[in-house]
Amino acid sequence: MLRVALVGYGSAGRGIHAPLLREAGLAPSVVATASPERVAQVRSDLPGSQVVPDLDAVLAAAPDLVVLASPSGVHAGQALACIAARVAVVVDKPLATDAAQARQVVTAAQAAGVPLTAFHNRRWDGENLALGAVLAAGTLGTVHRFERRWERWRPVPKARWREQQRAEQGGGLLLDLGPHVVDTALQLFGPVVAVHAETAARTTAAEDDAFLSLLHAGGVRSHLTLGSVVAAPGPRTRVLGSRAAYVSTDLPGEPPVFEGFADLPGHCGWIVAGADRWPVPRPAGSAVDLYRAVGAALALPDAAARQAAMPVDPWDAVAVAEVLDAARLSGDGAGTVSLPAEPLPHTPGTLGRSFT
């Protein structure tokens, strides 16, 4: 049985990773947190697990897998420490605060033969799985625009590091929600060759308001909107094609904002063609599948096979970081930023690179 360590027991570690790990049969046996309050939470939630103060103590416990649910600004350094210790690692998004650090982490993992993956859990959302199936079936015809919004009404920021830290420290929506929406766009419509962005920090230390226009190499244009000061959120997803559109209004964890298009039981989103519309069945799948795939990968006997079977190719996280770097440059006044046309390397055989 794999010995799993979880670094960080805040909103991500306790609220997302620990439950998914338990459901996947990978309950953490070691948890790193220095907060007395969170130590008590670990002892209540995960009785029998070992609680240690930091990553050094985690690595001294010799786990088979480390899950980094720590603040974004320390992801790269902690991932490199795990790689140096030759311990497989899952890094919550973003893999690093910029593309240069992300490349360093992935290159180090490949050189050391250490399995590495990024926690791009939204690939397993019903909405994305349903949309991937719709696109594969050609139902929409030729797609020309993908719209994804992640908007919320939070005029008073929470007292947590995501809202209080500067961008270079890992704060702001570009590094919090940006990896999710950019990864979705890349998985659905392929590499990006140009980025134009508008960004602002209205209530927080880094961006809490951002619009990204991405031009994909295949010609599709993605419009991605992130906002914390949005009293009237727009449709969650809209994909426009030559035959029809796909529309989804429900944001997980938030009430529906367009009652007429609210998801029906067993369905996820709608196909719309003028006055005609019909619901899209919800495919099977959820974020726990990511951790099930990690467990299956690490059970393989061959080192190369273990990395190839990890659910998210870490080079995909580098591609996301490159788009986010370009968005920050554009938002700071650089205008439209071009990206290289040549694709990044990939890990042969890696699972999870698309929703279909």
Quote the pLDDT of residue 160.
Answer: 74
Side chain identity, residue 126: G
294: which residues sit within 8 A by CB, 6+ positions away? 24, 26, 65, 90, 117, 310, 311
Q: What is the pLDDT of residues 74-95, one digit of tens each?
A: 999 999 999 999 999 999 999 9
Contacts with 39 (C-beta within 8 Å, 6 or more apart), sequence order:
33, 51
**Over residues 105-121, mean pLDDT:** 97
Q: What pLDDT is attached to residue 353?
A: 44
- % helix, strand, coil for the chain, step of 5: 40, 25, 40
Length of the chain, in residues = 356
Q: What does the pLDDT read at residue 142?
A: 98
Of the ranges 19-23, 302-306, 322-326, which one carries the lowest mean pLDDT score? 302-306
Residue with tokens 């890992």: 170
List pLDDT tens digits, range 127-155: 999 999 999 999 999 999 999 999 988 88
Q: Report, as an integer, the average pLDDT of 87-113.
A: 97
Tell me what the pLDDT averaged over the chain comes to: 92
pLDDT on residue 69: 97
Q: Report the pLDDT averaged over residues 295-324.
A: 96
pLDDT at 348 over 80: no
Residue 235's pLDDT is: 87
Domains of the chain, earliest start first: 4-122+288-310 (3.40.50.720), 123-281 (3.30.360.10)
pLDDT (tens digit, 9 = 90+) per residue, 191-226? Answer: 999 999 999 998 888 889 999 999 999 999 999 999
Chain position carrying tokens 């690179």: 353
